[in-house]
Amino acid sequence: MTETYTQPNREWWTEQWIEVLERIGFTQRLARARNYARQGNVLSLDFIGAKVKAMVQGTAPEPYEVSFSLDQFTDEQWSYIIESMAERAIFSAKLLAGEMPQTIQDVFTANGLSLFPFNKFDIHSRCSCPDPANPCKHIGAVYYLLGDRFSDDPFVLFQLRGRSKQEIISALRQIRSSGSEASQTETTVARPSTPLNPDQLWSYDEQLEPSLIVITPPPSSETVLDVLGTIPAKVEPAANQAAMETLKTIYQTVSIEAVQTAMTAGLT
């Protein structure tokens, strides 16, 4: 099936992917690559594990064969990456919902890695065309189409690094499930041997150590709305967007006032 490149309002991770190609390529050649992608010259684009195989129609009668891959991370590296993802609830929530967290690159950087390629030496590609330059316009067309694939499914980018969507989701669920069970065990062990007095449940007469109480704003502006996404209501898109903006403003206002109230209470 012919693949056609569309340039919609691209997500941030797709923009970053395309930026790499445009940074390392030659302007004139990439202009032709975009045209190839838009005109449907990429006849097929298939994944074989972490590698991409494509057929691109050029000026010759027979289409050219293109292969494309990135360096795959080791099992140990992926173990560290997924553990880092699982430690942040917002990451797990977004990935399990099929979204790419805005600061996902931080997880890889913290483990000495990069999700996105830095330069052309991080990209391994070949084309059967006679053009000695790399990327040639046929490889460039495949690269642009991969950006479209990322818009539809950001896990494709992880697949190029050696882990499928199902493998990552299963690992995240397993780690979070294990953490939940461990937390329940700790709670059970710490349970007092004598029953609590309901009348004294919310009272504490001892003076608190001020240095142990730290009240700070949330680390980001993300709210539960960012995790849940748009409201699944049968209304006009503009009305849905207006409702989301209103709710977001309310959440942010409540969050700020809660922090201010806590800080004020802590000073009295």
Per-residue pLDDT tens over the stretch 108-129: 888 888 888 877 788 899 999 9
Side-chain half-sphere CA neighbours of 225 within 13 A: 16
Give 13-70 pLDDT, tens digit per residue.
788 888 877 776 666 777 888 889 888 999 999 999 899 999 999 989 999 999 999 9
Tokens of 238: 């503009």
Cα separation, 131 vs 150, in Å, equals: 27
**What is the pLDDT at residue 44?**
93
Q: SS3 for 124?
A: strand
How buried is 147 (Cβ within 10 angstroms: 0-12 exposed, 13-18 middle, 19+ buried)? Answer: buried
**What is the pLDDT at residue 45?**
92
Which of the residues in the chain have pLDDT under 50?
Answer: 182, 187, 267-268
**What is the pLDDT at residue 163?**
92
**What is the pLDDT at residue 70?**
92
How buried is 255 (Cβ within 10 angstroms: 0-12 exposed, 13-18 middle, 19+ buried)? Answer: middle
**What is the pLDDT at residue 201?**
65
**What is the pLDDT at residue 53?**
96
Q: How many residues does the chain have?
A: 268
Cα separation, 171 vs 82, in Å, equals: 7
With CA atoms as reference, report the closest residue to 50 among 166, 160, 139. 160
